[in-house]
Amino acid sequence: MQSFKYTSATSDANAVRVVAANREAKFLAGGTNLIDLMREYVERPAELVDVSQLPLAQIRPTTNGVSIGALAKNEATANHPLIRQHYPLLSMAILAGASGQLRNMATNGGNLMQRTRCQYFYDIAMPCNKREPGSGCGALEGLNRIHAIFGYSDKCVATYPGDMATALYALDAVVKVRGINGRERTIPIQDFHRLPGDTPQKDNNLEHGELIVSIEVPKNNFANRSYYLKVRDRASYAFALVSVAAALETDGSNIKQARVVLGSVAHKPWRSMEAERALVGKPATSETFKAASDAALKDAKPLAHNGYKVELGKRAIVLALQQAMTGGAA
Protein backbone atom coordinates (compact mmCIF):
# COMPACT_ATOMS: atom_id res chain seq x y z
CA MET A 1 0.00 0.00 0.00
CA GLN A 2 1.33 3.45 -0.83
CA SER A 3 2.03 5.64 2.18
CA PHE A 4 -0.61 8.27 2.93
CA LYS A 5 -1.32 10.99 5.42
CA TYR A 6 -4.23 10.12 7.71
CA THR A 7 -6.43 12.61 9.49
CA SER A 8 -9.72 12.20 11.28
CA ALA A 9 -12.24 14.85 10.25
CA THR A 10 -13.64 17.08 12.97
CA SER A 11 -16.55 18.39 10.89
CA ASP A 12 -17.94 17.83 7.41
CA ALA A 13 -16.88 21.36 6.42
CA ASN A 14 -13.32 20.63 7.50
CA ALA A 15 -13.32 17.27 5.69
CA VAL A 16 -14.56 18.86 2.45
CA ARG A 17 -12.02 21.67 2.69
CA VAL A 18 -9.07 19.29 3.14
CA VAL A 19 -10.09 16.90 0.34
CA ALA A 20 -11.06 19.68 -2.07
CA ALA A 21 -7.63 21.28 -1.63
CA ASN A 22 -5.73 18.11 -2.56
CA ARG A 23 -6.39 16.23 -5.83
CA GLU A 24 -4.68 13.21 -4.27
CA ALA A 25 -6.91 13.15 -1.18
CA LYS A 26 -9.91 10.92 -0.59
CA PHE A 27 -12.61 10.49 2.05
CA LEU A 28 -12.45 7.29 4.08
CA ALA A 29 -15.60 5.85 5.66
CA GLY A 30 -16.09 2.08 6.09
CA GLY A 31 -13.04 1.34 3.96
CA THR A 32 -14.33 -2.03 2.76
CA ASN A 33 -13.67 -1.17 -0.88
CA LEU A 34 -11.09 1.62 -0.67
CA ILE A 35 -8.62 -0.12 1.66
CA ASP A 36 -8.83 -3.25 -0.47
CA LEU A 37 -8.13 -1.26 -3.66
CA MET A 38 -5.28 0.59 -1.96
CA ARG A 39 -3.66 -2.67 -0.93
CA GLU A 40 -3.79 -3.73 -4.59
CA TYR A 41 -2.30 -0.36 -5.66
CA VAL A 42 -5.41 0.31 -7.75
CA GLU A 43 -6.08 3.35 -5.57
CA ARG A 44 -3.07 5.38 -4.44
CA PRO A 45 -4.31 8.39 -2.48
CA ALA A 46 -1.65 10.55 -0.80
CA GLU A 47 -4.08 11.58 1.93
CA LEU A 48 -7.12 10.03 3.59
CA VAL A 49 -9.62 12.07 5.55
CA ASP A 50 -11.53 9.74 7.84
CA VAL A 51 -15.15 10.91 7.96
CA SER A 52 -16.49 7.82 9.71
CA GLN A 53 -16.89 9.56 13.07
CA LEU A 54 -18.91 12.52 11.71
CA PRO A 55 -22.52 12.74 12.92
CA LEU A 56 -24.06 11.74 9.58
CA ALA A 57 -25.43 8.35 10.57
CA GLN A 58 -29.01 9.23 11.42
CA ILE A 59 -32.02 7.62 9.81
CA ARG A 60 -35.10 9.77 10.37
CA PRO A 61 -38.55 10.37 8.94
CA THR A 62 -39.08 13.51 6.86
CA THR A 63 -42.32 15.12 5.67
CA ASN A 64 -41.89 13.38 2.34
CA GLY A 65 -40.32 10.07 3.33
CA VAL A 66 -37.09 9.16 5.02
CA SER A 67 -33.62 10.64 5.23
CA ILE A 68 -30.84 8.06 5.46
CA GLY A 69 -27.50 9.29 6.76
CA ALA A 70 -24.55 8.72 4.45
CA LEU A 71 -22.54 7.29 7.34
CA ALA A 72 -25.22 4.94 8.67
CA LYS A 73 -23.93 1.42 8.29
CA ASN A 74 -25.50 -0.90 5.73
CA GLU A 75 -26.55 -3.43 8.37
CA ALA A 76 -28.10 -0.77 10.61
CA THR A 77 -29.93 0.72 7.63
CA ALA A 78 -31.35 -2.60 6.45
CA ASN A 79 -32.59 -3.32 9.95
CA HIS A 80 -33.92 0.10 10.84
CA PRO A 81 -37.65 -0.25 11.65
CA LEU A 82 -38.54 2.64 9.29
CA ILE A 83 -36.73 1.03 6.39
CA ARG A 84 -37.99 -2.49 7.03
CA GLN A 85 -41.57 -1.29 7.37
CA HIS A 86 -41.80 1.25 4.54
CA TYR A 87 -38.94 0.33 2.19
CA PRO A 88 -38.50 -3.46 2.50
CA LEU A 89 -37.05 -3.46 -1.03
CA LEU A 90 -34.08 -1.47 0.26
CA SER A 91 -33.61 -3.82 3.22
CA MET A 92 -33.74 -6.82 0.91
CA ALA A 93 -31.19 -5.36 -1.47
CA ILE A 94 -28.73 -4.44 1.29
CA LEU A 95 -29.09 -7.82 3.00
CA ALA A 96 -28.42 -9.58 -0.32
CA GLY A 97 -24.97 -7.98 -0.41
CA ALA A 98 -21.62 -8.92 1.11
CA SER A 99 -21.47 -10.55 4.56
CA GLY A 100 -22.54 -9.66 8.09
CA GLN A 101 -19.07 -8.33 8.85
CA LEU A 102 -18.86 -6.16 5.72
CA ARG A 103 -22.38 -4.77 6.18
CA ASN A 104 -21.39 -3.74 9.73
CA MET A 105 -18.49 -1.75 8.29
CA ALA A 106 -19.84 -0.41 5.00
CA THR A 107 -21.64 2.92 4.99
CA ASN A 108 -24.48 3.96 2.67
CA GLY A 109 -22.47 6.77 1.12
CA GLY A 110 -19.50 4.49 0.60
CA ASN A 111 -21.74 1.89 -0.95
CA LEU A 112 -22.78 4.36 -3.65
CA MET A 113 -19.07 5.02 -4.27
CA GLN A 114 -18.27 1.33 -4.62
CA ARG A 115 -16.13 0.67 -7.68
CA THR A 116 -16.47 -2.06 -10.28
CA ARG A 117 -15.40 -5.63 -9.62
CA CYS A 118 -14.05 -6.05 -13.16
CA GLN A 119 -10.97 -8.26 -12.77
CA TYR A 120 -8.99 -6.14 -15.26
CA PHE A 121 -9.62 -3.08 -13.10
CA TYR A 122 -8.21 -4.94 -10.08
CA ASP A 123 -5.16 -6.37 -11.85
CA ILE A 124 -2.60 -3.58 -12.24
CA ALA A 125 -0.63 -5.69 -14.74
CA MET A 126 -3.58 -5.43 -17.15
CA PRO A 127 -4.78 -2.53 -19.28
CA CYS A 128 -7.81 -0.70 -17.91
CA ASN A 129 -9.12 2.69 -19.01
CA LYS A 130 -10.96 3.12 -15.71
CA ARG A 131 -7.82 2.66 -13.64
CA GLU A 132 -5.30 4.06 -16.14
CA PRO A 133 -7.04 6.23 -18.77
CA GLY A 134 -5.72 5.52 -22.25
CA SER A 135 -4.25 2.09 -21.41
CA GLY A 136 -7.07 0.19 -23.14
CA CYS A 137 -9.76 -2.21 -21.98
CA GLY A 138 -8.72 -5.73 -21.08
CA ALA A 139 -12.27 -7.00 -20.82
CA LEU A 140 -13.59 -5.89 -24.22
CA GLU A 141 -11.81 -8.75 -26.01
CA GLY A 142 -10.91 -10.66 -22.84
CA LEU A 143 -12.93 -12.59 -20.28
CA ASN A 144 -16.16 -10.65 -20.00
CA ARG A 145 -18.59 -13.08 -18.39
CA ILE A 146 -19.49 -10.66 -15.56
CA HIS A 147 -19.56 -7.55 -17.73
CA ALA A 148 -22.13 -5.19 -19.20
CA ILE A 149 -24.84 -5.90 -21.75
CA PHE A 150 -26.16 -2.32 -21.78
CA GLY A 151 -24.69 1.15 -22.14
CA TYR A 152 -21.02 0.26 -22.47
CA SER A 153 -18.45 1.86 -24.76
CA ASP A 154 -15.32 0.60 -26.51
CA LYS A 155 -13.41 2.20 -23.63
CA CYS A 156 -15.08 0.23 -20.81
CA VAL A 157 -17.50 -2.67 -20.39
CA ALA A 158 -17.41 -2.82 -16.58
CA THR A 159 -20.54 -3.03 -14.42
CA TYR A 160 -21.53 -1.26 -11.24
CA PRO A 161 -21.75 -4.14 -8.74
CA GLY A 162 -23.87 -2.73 -5.90
CA ASP A 163 -27.23 -4.04 -4.68
CA MET A 164 -28.30 -1.09 -2.54
CA ALA A 165 -28.18 1.46 -5.36
CA THR A 166 -30.22 -0.82 -7.61
CA ALA A 167 -33.06 -0.68 -5.08
CA LEU A 168 -32.57 3.07 -4.61
CA TYR A 169 -33.18 3.56 -8.37
CA ALA A 170 -36.53 1.81 -7.99
CA LEU A 171 -37.36 4.00 -5.00
CA ASP A 172 -36.60 7.34 -6.76
CA ALA A 173 -33.98 8.27 -4.18
CA VAL A 174 -32.13 11.57 -4.18
CA VAL A 175 -28.50 11.92 -3.07
CA LYS A 176 -27.70 14.99 -1.00
CA VAL A 177 -24.09 16.19 -1.21
CA ARG A 178 -22.12 18.99 0.41
CA GLY A 179 -19.23 20.78 -1.30
CA ILE A 180 -16.81 23.57 -0.65
CA ASN A 181 -18.15 26.57 1.35
CA GLY A 182 -21.09 24.49 2.56
CA ARG A 183 -22.64 24.43 -0.92
CA GLU A 184 -25.30 21.74 -0.89
CA ARG A 185 -26.93 20.15 -3.89
CA THR A 186 -29.15 17.17 -4.59
CA ILE A 187 -28.60 14.61 -7.32
CA PRO A 188 -31.45 12.32 -8.39
CA ILE A 189 -30.10 8.78 -8.06
CA GLN A 190 -30.47 8.05 -11.78
CA ASP A 191 -28.07 10.95 -12.46
CA PHE A 192 -25.58 9.93 -9.79
CA HIS A 193 -23.68 7.18 -11.62
CA ARG A 194 -22.44 7.63 -15.18
CA LEU A 195 -22.15 5.54 -18.30
CA PRO A 196 -18.50 5.00 -19.26
CA GLY A 197 -18.38 6.82 -22.62
CA ASP A 198 -14.89 8.21 -23.15
CA THR A 199 -14.26 8.84 -19.44
CA PRO A 200 -14.71 5.51 -17.64
CA GLN A 201 -12.39 6.73 -14.87
CA LYS A 202 -15.36 8.78 -13.64
CA ASP A 203 -17.86 6.44 -11.96
CA ASN A 204 -20.25 9.20 -10.92
CA ASN A 205 -21.05 12.89 -11.17
CA LEU A 206 -19.61 14.01 -7.84
CA GLU A 207 -17.04 16.77 -8.00
CA HIS A 208 -13.75 16.23 -6.23
CA GLY A 209 -14.22 17.14 -2.58
CA GLU A 210 -17.99 16.77 -2.55
CA LEU A 211 -19.18 14.65 0.36
CA ILE A 212 -22.39 12.62 0.34
CA VAL A 213 -24.35 13.58 3.46
CA SER A 214 -27.62 11.69 3.04
CA ILE A 215 -29.89 9.70 0.78
CA GLU A 216 -33.47 10.95 0.69
CA VAL A 217 -36.15 8.41 -0.20
CA PRO A 218 -39.68 9.68 -0.90
CA LYS A 219 -42.86 7.97 0.28
CA ASN A 220 -44.28 5.39 -2.09
CA ASN A 221 -46.96 2.73 -2.32
CA PHE A 222 -44.61 -0.11 -3.18
CA ALA A 223 -44.01 -1.57 0.30
CA ASN A 224 -46.58 -4.36 -0.14
CA ARG A 225 -45.39 -5.41 -3.56
CA SER A 226 -41.66 -5.24 -3.99
CA TYR A 227 -38.87 -7.73 -4.31
CA TYR A 228 -35.12 -7.77 -4.79
CA LEU A 229 -33.89 -10.83 -6.67
CA LYS A 230 -30.16 -11.50 -6.86
CA VAL A 231 -28.68 -14.18 -9.09
CA ARG A 232 -25.09 -15.12 -8.37
CA ASP A 233 -22.56 -17.92 -8.66
CA ARG A 234 -23.14 -19.07 -5.08
CA ALA A 235 -26.04 -18.67 -2.67
CA SER A 236 -24.43 -16.01 -0.49
CA TYR A 237 -21.47 -13.63 -0.22
CA ALA A 238 -20.98 -13.07 -3.95
CA PHE A 239 -21.63 -10.26 -6.39
CA ALA A 240 -24.66 -10.39 -8.64
CA LEU A 241 -24.45 -11.71 -12.17
CA VAL A 242 -27.87 -10.17 -12.67
CA SER A 243 -30.16 -8.64 -10.06
CA VAL A 244 -33.64 -7.15 -10.27
CA ALA A 245 -35.31 -4.58 -8.07
CA ALA A 246 -39.03 -4.91 -8.80
CA ALA A 247 -41.78 -2.77 -7.30
CA LEU A 248 -45.48 -2.64 -8.14
CA GLU A 249 -48.48 -0.64 -7.06
CA THR A 250 -51.74 -2.28 -8.03
CA ASP A 251 -55.27 -1.02 -8.42
CA GLY A 252 -57.47 -4.07 -8.09
CA SER A 253 -55.89 -6.58 -10.42
CA ASN A 254 -54.30 -3.92 -12.63
CA ILE A 255 -50.85 -2.43 -12.32
CA LYS A 256 -50.95 1.26 -11.49
CA GLN A 257 -47.24 1.95 -11.13
CA ALA A 258 -44.16 -0.15 -11.70
CA ARG A 259 -40.39 -0.08 -11.27
CA VAL A 260 -38.00 -2.53 -12.88
CA VAL A 261 -34.30 -1.95 -12.33
CA LEU A 262 -31.58 -4.38 -13.38
CA GLY A 263 -28.31 -4.59 -11.47
CA SER A 264 -24.87 -5.76 -12.67
CA VAL A 265 -25.74 -5.35 -16.36
CA ALA A 266 -24.31 -1.86 -16.96
CA HIS A 267 -21.97 0.82 -15.62
CA LYS A 268 -24.90 1.95 -13.45
CA PRO A 269 -28.13 0.34 -12.25
CA TRP A 270 -30.27 -0.04 -15.37
CA ARG A 271 -33.83 1.16 -14.97
CA SER A 272 -36.01 -0.24 -17.75
CA MET A 273 -38.64 2.30 -18.77
CA GLU A 274 -39.59 -0.17 -21.55
CA ALA A 275 -40.49 -2.83 -18.98
CA GLU A 276 -42.35 -0.33 -16.82
CA ARG A 277 -44.40 0.88 -19.82
CA ALA A 278 -45.26 -2.75 -20.61
CA LEU A 279 -46.57 -3.21 -17.06
CA VAL A 280 -48.55 -0.08 -16.27
CA GLY A 281 -52.28 -0.39 -16.93
CA LYS A 282 -52.04 -4.13 -17.54
CA PRO A 283 -53.29 -6.99 -15.38
CA ALA A 284 -50.63 -8.37 -13.03
CA THR A 285 -50.29 -11.72 -14.75
CA SER A 286 -47.34 -13.86 -15.81
CA GLU A 287 -48.10 -12.96 -19.46
CA THR A 288 -47.74 -9.27 -18.66
CA PHE A 289 -44.51 -9.93 -16.75
CA LYS A 290 -43.14 -11.97 -19.66
CA ALA A 291 -43.90 -9.16 -22.10
CA ALA A 292 -42.20 -6.68 -19.76
CA SER A 293 -39.11 -8.84 -19.45
CA ASP A 294 -38.84 -9.17 -23.24
CA ALA A 295 -39.13 -5.40 -23.55
CA ALA A 296 -36.44 -4.87 -20.91
CA LEU A 297 -33.83 -7.03 -22.62
CA LYS A 298 -34.76 -6.19 -26.23
CA ASP A 299 -31.84 -3.80 -26.73
CA ALA A 300 -29.25 -5.78 -24.78
CA LYS A 301 -25.93 -6.21 -26.60
CA PRO A 302 -24.04 -9.05 -24.98
CA LEU A 303 -20.27 -9.49 -25.30
CA ALA A 304 -18.48 -12.76 -26.13
CA HIS A 305 -19.02 -14.43 -22.74
CA ASN A 306 -22.09 -12.88 -21.19
CA GLY A 307 -24.86 -13.80 -23.63
CA TYR A 308 -26.44 -15.78 -20.79
CA LYS A 309 -27.31 -12.50 -19.05
CA VAL A 310 -30.03 -11.79 -21.62
CA GLU A 311 -32.12 -14.89 -20.91
CA LEU A 312 -31.17 -14.82 -17.21
CA GLY A 313 -32.27 -11.19 -17.01
CA LYS A 314 -35.65 -11.97 -18.56
CA ARG A 315 -36.33 -14.87 -16.23
CA ALA A 316 -35.13 -12.89 -13.22
CA ILE A 317 -37.52 -10.04 -14.05
CA VAL A 318 -40.52 -12.40 -14.34
CA LEU A 319 -39.64 -14.13 -11.08
CA ALA A 320 -39.00 -10.87 -9.23
CA LEU A 321 -42.36 -9.45 -10.36
CA GLN A 322 -44.14 -12.64 -9.34
CA GLN A 323 -42.48 -12.52 -5.93
CA ALA A 324 -43.36 -8.85 -5.60
CA MET A 325 -47.03 -9.75 -6.14
CA THR A 326 -46.91 -12.21 -3.24
CA GLY A 327 -45.83 -9.39 -0.96
CA GLY A 328 -42.15 -10.09 -1.23
CA ALA A 329 -42.24 -13.26 0.88
CA ALA A 330 -39.62 -15.45 -0.76
Q: What is the dihedral of CA 71, 75, 276, 86, to 10 degrees?
A: -90
Shorter beta-carbon distance to other proteins: residue 98 or 231: 98
d(CA 154, CA 172): 30
Cα–Cα–Cα angle for 121, 127, 130, rounded to 5 degrees: 45
Shortest Å, Cβ 117 to other proteins: 11
DSSP 180-219: GGG-EEEEEGGGTB---TT-TT--BSPPTT-EEEEEEEE-
- Give min distance, CB of 100 to other proteins, in A: 5
CA-based torsion, 118, 121, 126, 130: positive or negative:
positive
3-state secondary structure 240-309: EEEEEEEEEEEECCEEEEEEEEEECCCCCCEECHHHHHHHCCCECCHHHHHHHHHHHHCCCCCCCCCCHH
In the complex, the smallest distance separating the C-beta of residue 292 from other proteins, rounded to whole angstroms, is: 24
Angle (CA) 274-67-90 rounded to 5° is: 45
CB of 317 to other proteins, least distance (A): 20
Q: Which is nearer to other proteins, 149 or 248 (CB)?
A: 248
**Start-to-end Cα distance in the chain:** 43
Kindly tell me which of 9 and 317 has the beta carbon lying closer to other proteins.
Answer: 9
Minimal distance in Å, beta carbon 35 to other proteins?
A: 5
Residue 44 or 145: the one with the smaller Cβ distance to other proteins is: 44
Shortest distance (Å) from residue 8 CB to other proteins: 7
Nearest-approach distance from CB 217 to other proteins, in angstroms: 16
Interface contacts to other proteins, rule CB under 8 A: 1, 3-6, 8, 28, 31-32, 35-36, 39-40, 48, 50, 52, 73, 75, 78-79, 81, 84-85, 88, 91-92, 95-96, 98-102, 104-105, 223, 235-237, 327-330
Toward other proteins, which CB reaches closer, 48 or 174? 48
Measured from the CB atom, is 32 or 119 closer to other proteins?
A: 32
State the DSSP H helix or E strand holding residue 141, giving kind and residue range, or none if neither. none
Nearer to other proteins among residue 39 and residue 298 (C-beta): 39
